[in-house]
Amino acid sequence: MLRSAGCTLVTAASIGAAARSLSSEAITRYDAIVVGLGAHGSACLYHLARWGCKVLGLDRFNSISNTRASHHGQTRITRMAYKEGPEYVPLLRKSFEMYRALERETQQKLYWQTGCVNIGEPLFSAARATAVDQHLPHEVLTARQANDRFPGLQLPPHVPVLYEAAGGIVEPEKLIQAHVLRAWYHGAHVKTGETVLDWSPLPDGGVRVTTDCSTYHADKLVISSGAWMDQMVPELKGLTVPGRATVAWFQPSAPQLFHHSRFPVFLLQDEQQGDPFYGFPEFGRFPGVKIGKFCVSAPQCDPDSLDRAMAVEDTEPLEAALRRHMPKAHGEVLNFAACMFTMTPDGHFVIDTHPRHPQVVICSACSGHGFKLSPAIGYVLADMVRHEGVCKEFDAQMQIHRLNRSRPGHGAVLDRFEQPQQPQQQQQQQAVVSS
């Protein structure tokens, strides 16, 4: 269990010992520290470094991008006709611009335009509402038109389809690595294999960060620890909830129909199953058609002991969806991965300053759909660091992601943030300052 300013328990003796040991070592002070170099932390690090901040990025795992958090698996869908709401579109436009900019900077392809089909209700109507509201190019197809255009599909006749040519694939590991690499070129310090154990505010308005290797001070702290969010900020427990999400790659019987040059990424509502599905054409180094269930009601999991083994219950719903809508994609399971969604009750993100400590920015931007937005969200986080928690350019769009009593589940969390601090924490801060 990690400790934060909200729950640290220390004794007077340990405070004295900590103060003595700290006084004997010089603690490096940064403008900002970013905890978690996944999708959003890596992008935030990049922007801060680009703007000349002295910044440190920390990740618990021993590599830039890893297979233990929420960003592995080689592909993430990107799209603009956003069923989650038109408020996302300005951030999506920014992200699309930035995929291209980062491609130019790093001389590699990060975004592959395959087109995206939104199949069935309510996906179709929600995507169309955003497309119309935001004047996005799109086509409404009948099932027959969709089946003709993409012969890998065999949709029942009454199913509506929205096709968006801009949709496609972003490569998550490569995007994260590109952000970190460019941050590093701009002078960021990067440490992997270093777990943040604790953070606490300093009386001078800064933050102290303790890892399993060292201690750092900074003016600002960004916490983008993904599925570990509520371990770093325990007040968020019950609001940002990690859940197990699985995907599998199936061997198509007609592979030529599913190559990414001919088949789009897809969102699919199977009328016979509750939560929708999403998937990818054959792409990259993992062969097969990849499909996952968007588990709104995913079983809650502990990110430190996620069950990564494949079970029949994982693949059965995926197989059923393929059999009914793209039977030639349904074959042997070639590959399987378990990952984590960090869900909020309304599916929007939690991006805000810490209610008690405005020098701390918190970012939980998952709910299963955050990756594509990471270049823009990283930009927003970095701007919040520079401008007292506000990113003017996207202030209107960020309102749905702020802590707010009118959002489901936020009242209890805000009550927790409003509880007075424990006296031990104040003592601890004094000890740190006297060092």
Sheet holding 161-164, edge to edge: 139-141, 161-164, 116-119, 265-268, 277-280, 289-293, 241-250, 333-343
Among 67-75, 283-291, 353-361, 416-424, the segment contacting ligand FAD (CB under 6 A):
67-75
Q: Binding ligand FAD by CB under 6 A: which of 5, 161, 183, 196?
A: 196
Among 123-131, 201-209, 224-232, 394-402, the segment contacting ligand FAD (CB under 6 A):
224-232
Q: Does 336 bind ligand FAD (CB under 6 A)?
A: no
Among 29-37, 268-276, 350-358, 384-392, the segment contacting ligand FAD (CB under 6 A):
29-37
Min CB(226)–ligand FAD separation in Å? 3
Q: Residue 58 or 257: which CB sits closer to ligand FAD?
A: 58
Measure the CA–CA gap between 114 and 55, rounded to whole angstroms: 36
Measure the CA–CA gap between 223 and 33, rounded to whole angstroms: 8
Q: Does 366 bind ligand FAD (CB under 6 A)?
A: yes
CB within 8 A of 419, min separation 6: which ones? none
Q: Can you read off the two tokens belonging to residue 353?
A: 């300053």
Q: Binding ligand FAD by CB under 6 A: which of 37, 119, 343, 360?
A: 37
Closest CB to ligand FAD belongs to which residue? 38
CB within 8 A of 37, min separation 6: which ones? 45, 57, 58, 59, 64, 176, 180, 190, 192
∠ CA 338-342-345 to the nearest 5 degrees? 135
Q: Residue 66 or 200: which CB sits closer to ligand FAD?
A: 66
Q: Residue 94 or 143: which CB sits closer to ligand FAD?
A: 94
Q: How many residues bind ligand FAD (CB under 6 A)?
A: 39
Measure the CA–CA gap between 348 and 370, rounded to whole angstroms: 9
Among 135-143, 181-189, 363-371, 408-416, the segment contacting ligand FAD (CB under 6 A):
363-371
The residue among 155, 192, 165 whose CA lies nearest residue 41 is 192
Among 52-60, 124-132, 309-317, 403-411, the segment contacting ligand FAD (CB under 6 A):
52-60
Q: Does 353 bind ligand FAD (CB under 6 A)?
A: no
Which helix (H) or strand (E) segment holds residue 100: the answer is helix 89-106
- Burial category of 276 from C-beta neighbours within 10 Å (exposed 0-12, middle 13-18, buried 19 and up): buried
55 and 188 Cβ atoms separated by less than 8 Å: yes
Q: Residue 28 or 154: which CB sits closer to ligand FAD?
A: 28
Q: Reduce the DSSP state of residue 223 to 3 states and report it.
A: strand
Min CB(142)–ligand FAD separation in Å? 26
Q: Binding ligand FAD by CB under 6 A: which of 87, 368, 375, 398?
A: 368
Q: Does 292 bind ligand FAD (CB under 6 A)?
A: yes
Q: Does 225 bind ligand FAD (CB under 6 A)?
A: yes
89 and 290 Cβ atoms separated by less than 8 Å: no
375 and 99 Cβ atoms separated by less than 8 Å: yes
Min CB(169)–ligand FAD separation in Å? 8
Q: Which residue has the tokens 């698996």?
A: 73
Q: Residue 147 or 293: which CB sits closer to ligand FAD?
A: 293
Min CB(211)–ligand FAD separation in Å? 7
Q: Residue 126 or 143: which CB sits closer to ligand FAD?
A: 126
Q: Does 76 bind ligand FAD (CB under 6 A)?
A: yes
Q: How many C-beta neighbours within 10 Å does residue 404 have?
A: 14
Q: How many C-beta neighbours within 10 Å does residue 295 have?
A: 18
First to last CA, the chain: 26
Measure the CA–CA gap between 267 and 260, rounded to whole angstroms: 15
Q: Residue 53 or 245: which CB sits closer to ligand FAD?
A: 245
Q: Can you read off the two tokens belonging to residue 203?
A: 């009386």
Q: How many C-beta neighbours within 10 Å does residue 304 have?
A: 11
Among 54-62, 131-139, 235-243, 306-314, the segment contacting ligand FAD (CB under 6 A):
54-62
Q: Binding ligand FAD by CB under 6 A: which of 6, 10, 36, 361?
A: 36
Q: Binding ligand FAD by CB under 6 A: which of 6, 206, 264, 370?
A: 370
Q: Binding ligand FAD by CB under 6 A: which of 195, 273, 315, 335?
A: 195
Measure the CA–CA gap between 168 and 117, rounded to whole angstroms: 10
The footprint of ligand FAD on residues 228-267 (CB under 6 A) is: 228, 232, 245, 247
Question: Residues in the site for ligand FAD, rule: CB under 6 A?
Answer: 2, 35-41, 58-61, 66, 69-71, 76-77, 195-196, 224-226, 228, 232, 245, 247, 278, 292, 339-341, 365-366, 368-372
